[in-house]
Structure 1
Amino acid sequence: MKTAAERIFSATFIVPQLCVIAFMTLAVSPPAQADVTAFGQEVSIPRNTANGTVVARHYMTPQEVCGQSKCTVNKVIAYADGGGSPASTTIITTNVVGISTRLLINGRAYGTSYPGVAFTQPIEIQLLGDGRENKGGSLAGIHASPYYYQLSTSENYDFRIYLKGTITPIDGTCSVPSQTVKLPKTLIQRLERIGSTAGTQSFQIQINNCPKGYNRIGYTLAPVGSVIANSPGVLPLAGGSTASGIKIRVENAQGTPATLNTSIRLSEYNKAEGGSFVIPMQASYIRTDTVAKPGTVKGAMTVFMDYR
């Protein structure tokens, strides 16, 4: 019988199959106290999306909202169609057929309300498909001053959020086939201290059949499960894992920990050509705790495609 130091690990690392999962557009907001313009310019998104599918996102940090690392929103007023009557619903229509919008604080959506909620993570503004065909058009709103949200904070900052830009519908999206990556079995003695890695296995993320016409295509690597603080690229243990103190770290082809939960531009994509692409990656075991128990290590991540 092998001693604990000689027992081996095995791992299964799963990248689920996705066609269209989510669509994200990142933008930079102006300084605190200034009105915010979300999106802007041309936003190219898939023509037909399921009801509720997020097609674009804009973020506002606490520094941009109130000039501090933590802000408290006391009041939210949501204006449908960029200037209609205040709406209490968490999803409101824009004046572009097929596209609605939603504002989230700490991951929770708010319509017109008095939440009194503190936040340290960015506020998120989303554009969503609402089940109707996206026919494109301008987010200018129904009034000359087309703001969709008005927020007040306890730090005495009041500002409006404008949605601007021209929505251009594109037929088709990229596809991402699922795959299972198996790491080689590894002796625990090779993972002798926290941060040690072993059992590296190369793999590729395949992004297929991207159509022409998008201004930008990006991908986001999102761990299945909660994000592990101060552990770049590390996935939480998935169901079926019997080991402890050991996890899987996803890395780029050079061994640098992968950036998670951030949209990365697919630089090889050409608007005039479209096409299929591969992203070389690798995964390794990593020791994460002082006490480690041998067994099976499993982790998973989702690949979100975003378009604009």
Structure 2
Amino acid sequence: MSLLLVCLVAVLSLLFCGRAFAGCSYGGGQSFTLTLPTTVSVPRDAPVGSLLTTWVASPASSNLWTCSSSGGLLGAGVQVGPIVGASTGQTYNSGGTFTVYKTNLPGVGIVLAGRSYTPNAGWYGWFSVYGGMAYSGVYATWAMGAQVQVALIKTGTISAGGTVSGGVVAQAFPNSDGPRYDLIASYVITPVNVVPLTCTTPDVSIPMGTFKTTDFPSVGSLSPNPAGFAIQLLNCPGGTAVSGTQAGQIHSIQYRIDPTSGTLATNVAALTGSPSASGVGIELFNSSGAVFPLSTNTTLSGYNSASGGSYSIPMTTRYYRTGTITAGPANSTMTLTVSYQ
């Protein structure tokens, strides 16, 4: 019995002598505002993963909390965690890998990075804000701090635009002898209006005229009178590019024309509707008279990304004989797709 008592006393003594108690405090609640741009203009087809704002950081505050140890070497640290929507499952890589979180606006996410300060370790490098923590061994009294930076990022289609709500996106607090949730520093973003950049593209109706079968003596013959028309890209917005992001302006515009019913031959659109003529299709030509390639992206020449403006793309179209012709209506529909980057 006495041997057991001696062992028990020894264990209790070891626990007591090795204990280092700590306390942390600061002068009232603290909140830091990270001011994002009021409005962000984004090309509708900017690549997913593109930054929509530059990184905006809170002050590098190294003395948010004052902590003290009653004796011995104490492990203490700063914990930084997100107060945002769920993860998108995406990450952003820039000097580290950072989790991307959802915002209230479809297609727009927020990426957060945090770092912490302890006296022995100094500033601990940027880490993904998911509850990360940096520790340092300290004696006596010391100061600790934190810093958070955020950016908006494209996570999917931004169709109609809207406003990313402002509010708290991250919190930091000291962790010494346990997390101190009563000593939270909050990080707040300002609201951001996100505007997708597009041009107006009116529908075009093209009268082709009436032709005889004798106007097409052989396969490959074209109708004698080309019909002229123009693709209009109106009120294209201009702007100033935001360095390091896809925001601020449309950088380039591409367009393509796809026949609704496919093709009968290379770059010859099939007719649509019933009843319909047969043995002919429709071919498009650019302003130089060259055959216009269907279902192929073409870059809009002369587009000024700084000033924007309205643009007209002159074209002509003719019937093209593909085989034995039978009379009837000869209509076709095609879809214009405009891509903005």
Q: TM-score, normalised by structure 2?
A: 0.44
Higher relative contact order (CA 8 A, sep 6+): 1
Structure of higher CA gyration radius: 2
Q: TM-score, normalised by structure 1?
A: 0.48
